């Protein structure tokens, strides 16, 4: 047991209490962010003359050294300490003596942990955005290759109208694109530095909060110290965005599972992304897609958990907030894992063009177009709908498609039909006539693909300055 606050206590902490209270087993995950925050804090204290030049230089060098040793694995983060903050401070004191004891001047663990979690989340946003960008690139490749791969479009999981694989994939492109926009938006809104909020009421030291914020790549300091230590909105927003990513991945997984089934055979999942059965030798199961669908639950769980933890917390810091970490970390890791695996599965998946087209041909996906033919020949839409309904019934009874009927059979139901009906209800026509922007017709689709390419060519992350490099290299003032 090693803690920072023994002074006013006369008894040892109960062992169980200590364990219940400690967070090092999970907050060690942001050791890097904790030390980066400390370097910025020390540099600011030095600039303000609160630490001497020598103390500042020594502290910065020692923190960098600890960081390097932890990264190389030569210094182990000991679970003897209550949290990562105590661990770093203890090692500093061990190495620098009294100078080490000055690290925490003008700072509380409340603003420290608020900073650490924010820095960690910000890094996570960038990594997840990268993975989203990769899945988008993969989807775009499929779109480019399949502008004329016809397949049934569904409503109620019943065949509705023919579309193309490019069009179907384009829907997911839009979803993941919105996910990225949400991340960029959250990043901007959260990018204010809480360090300097102190325990809750700031501090009496003359801190330069603008300088600390700048060193850490923030747009500026947060403007209320009570809010600074107790705001976890950004994390709730991020978990909500991650939940939406998972919802999209889960819908996509569900479709891959259906498409990969024996009945559909629209796709074949690569052996590397399938698993077998211990008893049924014929099985090739879509486990990855199923797991992604299944893991959606735990990400939603993290969001609901944090919303519930925060509900009813009085200002400012409360220990409840320590509960913001474990499930959030789990959700962040889960989403990154799912995105990477799903992209791999997608890039190796084979699309069975013929199966898709054959499926689009039956199931009356051209019934709307047959009705539109009649409308174009002067029949009111409601009557046309009724006539085609009769045709469908006629076909169902005989087990044939509209295209299989003879002109005589069609004319017997409505004399309006002429030879050109067959061209009008061919699958190619049904798709290619749909040329409104956002529709599956090849020409419309190509325009959209160009727009999506232009979108992908811009990356909001590139505009962010490399603050980590600047922080580590900048002179001690
Ligand atoms: N482990 C704590 C947390 O995650 C750090 C802040 C501790 N502050 C305090 N007043 N006990 O929230």
Comparing CA positions, the residue from 269, 317, 305 lying closest to residue 289 is 269
Q: What is the pLDDT of residue 1?
A: 60
Q: Alpha-carbon distance 57 to 64, whole Å? A: 11
- Ligand 1 centroid–CA 18 distance in Å is 13
| pLDDT tens sequence across 458-472 | 999 998 989 999 999
Secondary structure in 3-state letters for 219-257: CEECCCHHHHHHCCHHHHHHHHHHHHHHHHHHHHHHHHH
Whether the CB-CB separation of 179 and 245 falls below 8 Å is answered with yes
Q: Alpha-carbon distance 356 to 352, whole Å? A: 6
Measuring from atom 12 of ligand 1, which residue has the nearest CA? 322
- Ligand 1 centroid–CA 128 distance in Å is 27
Would you say residue 169 has pLDDT above 80? yes
> For the residues 18-23, what does the mean pLDDT come to?
95
Poorest-pLDDT segment among 78-87, 244-253, 268-277, 446-455: 268-277
CA angle, 405 then 407 then 410, to 5° = 70
Measuring from atom 4 of ligand 1, which residue has the nearest CA? 322
**Residue 206, both tokens:** 């003359």
For residue 277, indicate whether it is catalytic.
yes
Considering only CA atoms, give the Rg of the chain: 30
Comparing CA positions, the residue from 128, 130, 129, 302 lying closest to residue 232 is 302
Whether the CB-CB separation of 119 and 216 falls below 8 Å is answered with yes
Q: Alpha-carbon distance 186 to 242, whole Å? A: 11
In sign, the C-alpha dihedral spanning 155, 157, 162, 167 is: positive
Q: How many CB atoms lie within 10 A of CB 419?
A: 7
The rounded Cα 230 to chain-centroid distance in angstroms is 25
| pLDDT tens sequence across 295-341 | 999 999 999 999 999 999 999 999 999 999 999 999 999 999 999 99
- Ligand 1 centroid–CA 200 distance in Å is 12
Please report which confidence band the pLDDT of residue 14 belongs to, taking 50, 70 and 90 as the band edges.
confident
Residues with CB under 6 A from ligand 1: 23, 27, 83, 109-110, 113, 317, 319, 321-322
Pocket mutation for ligand 1, best pick of 113, 306, 309 (most atoms within 8 Å of C-beta): 113
Whether the CB-CB separation of 151 and 60 falls below 8 Å is answered with no
Would you say residue 264 has pLDDT above 80? yes
Token pair 């204010």 is found at 192
In the three-class reduction of DSSP (H, G, I as helix; E, B as strand; rest coil), residue 155 is classed as strand
> For the residues 360-370, what does the mean pLDDT come to?
91
Would you say residue 354 has pLDDT above 90? yes
> For the residues 209-222, what does the mean pLDDT come to?
98
Q: How many CB atoms lie within 10 A of CB 201?
A: 12
Which residues, at least 6 apart from 17, have a Cβ–Cβ distance to it below 8 Å? none
Q: Which listed residue (23, 104, 156, 457) is catalytic?
A: 156
- Ligand 1 centroid–CA 21 distance in Å is 9
> For the residues 409-421, what does the mean pLDDT come to?
96
- Ligand 1 centroid–CA 285 distance in Å is 45
Q: What ligand 1 atom has the least distance to the C-alpha of 199?
A: 10
Q: What is the pLDDT of residue 2?
A: 67
Measuring from atom 3 of ligand 1, which residue has the nearest CA? 322
**Residue 96, both tokens:** 């620098």
The rounded Cα 74 to chain-centroid distance in angstroms is 34
Q: What is the pLDDT of residue 278?
A: 76
For residue 156, indicate whether it is catalytic.
yes
Please report which confidence band the pLDDT of residue 284 belongs to, taking 50, 70 and 90 as the band edges.
confident
């Amino acid at each position: 047991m090693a803690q920072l606050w023994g002074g006013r206590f006369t008894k040892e902490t109960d062992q169980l209490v200590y364990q219940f209270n400690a967070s090092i087993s999970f907050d060690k995950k942001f050791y890097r962010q904790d030390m980066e925050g400390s370097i910025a804090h020390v540099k600011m204290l030095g600039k303000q003359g609160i630490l001497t030049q020598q103390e500042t230089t020594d502290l910065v060098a020692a923190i960098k050294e600890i960081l390097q040793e932890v990264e190389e694995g030569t210094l182990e983060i000991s679970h003897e300490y209550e949290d990562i903050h105590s661990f770093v401070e203890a090692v500093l004191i061990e190495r620098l003596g009294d100078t080490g004891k000055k690290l925490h001047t003008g700072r509380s663990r409340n603003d420290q942990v608020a900073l650490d979690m924010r820095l960690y989340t910000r890094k996570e946003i960038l990594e997840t955005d990268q993975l989203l960008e990769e899945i988008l690139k993969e989807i775009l490749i499929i779109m480019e290759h399949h502008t004329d791969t016809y397949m049934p479009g569904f409503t109620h999981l019943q065949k509705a109208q023919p579309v193309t694989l490019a069009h179907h994939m384009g829907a997911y492109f839009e979803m993941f694109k919105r996910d990225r926009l949400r991340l960029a938006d959250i990043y901007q809104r959260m990018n204010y530095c809480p360090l300097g909020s102190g325990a809750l009421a700031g501090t009496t030291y003359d801190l330069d909060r603008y300088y600390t914020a700048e060193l850490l790549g923030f747009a500026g300091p947060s403007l209320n110290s009570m809010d600074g230590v107790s705001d976890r909105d950004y994390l709730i927003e991020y978990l909500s965005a991650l939940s939406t990513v998972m919802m999209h991945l889960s819908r996509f997984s569900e479709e891959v599972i259906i498409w990969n089934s024996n009945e559909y055979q629209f796709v074949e999942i690569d052996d590397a992304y399938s698993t077998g059965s211990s008893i049924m030798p014929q099985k090739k199961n879509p486990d990855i897609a199923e797991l992604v669908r299944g893991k959606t639950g735990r990400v939603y769980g993290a969001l609901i958990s944090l919303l519930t933890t925060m509900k009813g917390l009085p200002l400012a810091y409360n220990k409840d907030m320590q509960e913001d970490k474990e499930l959030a970390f789990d959700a962040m890791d889960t989403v990154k894992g799912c995105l990477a695996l799903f992209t791999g599965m997608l890039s190796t998946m084979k699309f069975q063009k013929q199966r898709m087209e054959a499926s689009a041909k039956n199931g009356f996906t051209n019934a709307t177009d047959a009705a539109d033919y009649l409308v174009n020949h002067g029949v009111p839409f409601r009557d046309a709908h009724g006539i085609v309904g009769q045709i469908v019934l006629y076909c169902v009874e005989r087990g044939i498609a509209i295209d299989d009927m003879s002109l005589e059979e069609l004319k017997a139901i409505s004399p309006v039909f002429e030879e050109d009906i067959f061209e009008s209800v061919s699958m190619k026509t049904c798709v290619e006539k749909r040329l409104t922007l956002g529709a599956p017709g090849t020409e419309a689709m190509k325009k959209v693909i160009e727009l999506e390419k232009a979108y992908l060519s811009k990356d909001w992350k590139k505009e962010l300055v490399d603050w980590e490099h600047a922080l580590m290299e900048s002179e001690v003032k």
